[in-house]
Amino acid sequence: MKKILGVSALTLVAACLIGPKFIANEYQSKLTDFIDNINSEAGYNAKIESTESSWFGSTSKVLVEIDTTTIAPTLQGKKLSAEFELDTQFGPLLFAPQGVIGLFSTDVKLKGDEQRHYLNWSAETPLYTLSLISNLFGDLQFADYIPAFSNKAQTLSVSEYSGHGKLANDKLIYNGGFKAATASEQTTTTLQNVTLNLDLDADWATIRSEGFYNGNMGLNIEQITTVPQGEFDKLAVTLKTKLDDSTQLGSMQIGYAIKKIDVDGFQANDLNLVTELNNLDNQVFLDYGQLIKESVSLTPNQQFAFLQQHLDTLLAGKPEFNIVEFSGETKDGKFTANLASHLADIKNPSIAEMNDPRFWLYNAIVNANVKMDQTLLHSAVQHYVAKKMYAPLNSPEVKQQSDILIDSLVQQGIIKLENNNYSTQFHAEKGQGKIYDLAFPLM
């Protein structure tokens, strides 16, 4: 028994002493691959400036440069640079806040000496830090941090940002946020409690490819206030993407929500807009992603040539554009609307044909529904009529003309009144429109 324990102890000690050397080689290979991936992106250049290695760790400096043309075409010939310091400890025995056993742990720092020319933040504190640890299976846990900062003109201030996440089993999860940010140039705008959430079923290569994958992303802002008076409460922007493995067709859904808005006397609650694009050919987006990597700035001719080359493939899946929900409530009542649209069967259209609005009027198949409270429609029409008549909103003439206009729409069958709600239904196909039983040409 003592012999077995002795062998086990010796094996453990050997692993702790010899293991770091093997892990160091694997780590350096991954770091080189990471640098190569950065350099494969058009407009980016990265290099390892120096590396100091020891048996149990290494320290490297990495310089990353960005061609400003990738940010704005008008900034040609300029470059932004940042030098990152990587302090790494090799496992299997680690003493890191995120774990004791693993392949390696790395602390990344951007001191930000160049950025101090136009930003203020705490002295002796790096502008950005990232701590990550790899377990024995190669899964990563990480946490990043940006200190509170302001610009030299004191027109922008942002509180500290922190985030944490995990990349494991081809899945990325990340949550981060900051408490407040204020900008005060022409007007003063303040954001409160901003959070970012990612839940992506994709590895890093898939995310960089520009293709589709299953994922959810969300940006939430508890409150935005502006001076002069304006307030937005509980804003949320969501992006959901999906990829059908069998058909290789992707879809994306973008949602916007505001719990409350109060701006210049206008008030509304529970505003929601959810749109979606369906049946998008994944290979087209992968090819476009490769084109982006090969060019700092795509010219209109390049974009035109790419679209012409992939047009048939893109249309073969019969892409859809839908407004899943458009709804809200004002002091005058509630409204809700939705729209579903897709293209009919099309044989080899040219770009010139698609640039003609009549192409879309003839080939788009559209169904839309709108419903709103009776009081809301009357209020909206009165605002419209008052503006056209240059008359006070509450004048008898405005109310009379508004009632006449609404009655006319009801008599023509354009809108219907039922249970104190007005509603309408619209259908378009082959250049013909139809509102309930009322048909009319669109072209």
Q: pLDDT tens digits, the chain, 443 residues: what are they?
A: 433 333 333 333 444 444 454 566 677 777 788 888 878 777 788 888 888 876 667 888 988 888 777 666 666 667 788 889 989 887 676 765 555 677 888 899 999 888 898 899 998 899 999 998 888 888 888 999 999 999 998 999 999 999 999 998 889 999 999 999 999 987 899 999 999 999 999 888 888 888 999 999 999 999 999 887 789 999 999 999 999 999 999 999 999 999 999 988 789 999 999 999 999 999 999 988 888 777 767 777 888 888 888 888 888 888 999 999 999 999 999 999 999 999 888 877 877 888 888 988 899 999 999 999 999 999 999 999 999 889 888 898 989 999 999 999 999 999 999 999 999 999 999 999 999 989 999 88
What is the DSSP code (8-state) at residue 318? Answer: -
What is the DSSP code (8-state) at residue 401? Answer: H
Give the distance between the most distant pair of CA atoms in the chain.
Answer: 104
Residue 54's pLDDT is what?
Answer: 65
The set of residues, in sequence order, having a beta carbon less than 8 Å from that of 25 and lying 6+ positions away, is none
Q: Are 159 and 179 a contacting pair, CB within 8 Å?
A: yes
Q: Are 141 and 152 a contacting pair, CB within 8 Å?
A: no
Residue 47's pLDDT is what?
Answer: 87
Q: Are 91 and 20 a contacting pair, CB within 8 Å?
A: yes
Cis peptide leading into residue 228 (ω within 30°): yes
Q: Which residues pair with 81 in a beta bridge?
A: 65
The 10 Å CB-count burial string (b at 16+, else e) for 101-110 is: ebbbbbbbbb
Q: Angle of helix 282-294 relative to helix 300-316, nearest 10 degrees?
A: 160
Residue 404 burial (C-beta neighbours within 10 Å; 0-12, 13-18, 19+)? exposed
Residue 63's pLDDT is what?
Answer: 87
Statement: the pTM of the whole predicted model exceeds 0.75: yes
CA 61 from chain centre, in angstroms, equals: 31
What is the DSSP code (8-state) at residue 415? Answer: S
Residue with tokens 């999906």: 242
Cis peptide leading into residue 92 (ω within 30°): yes
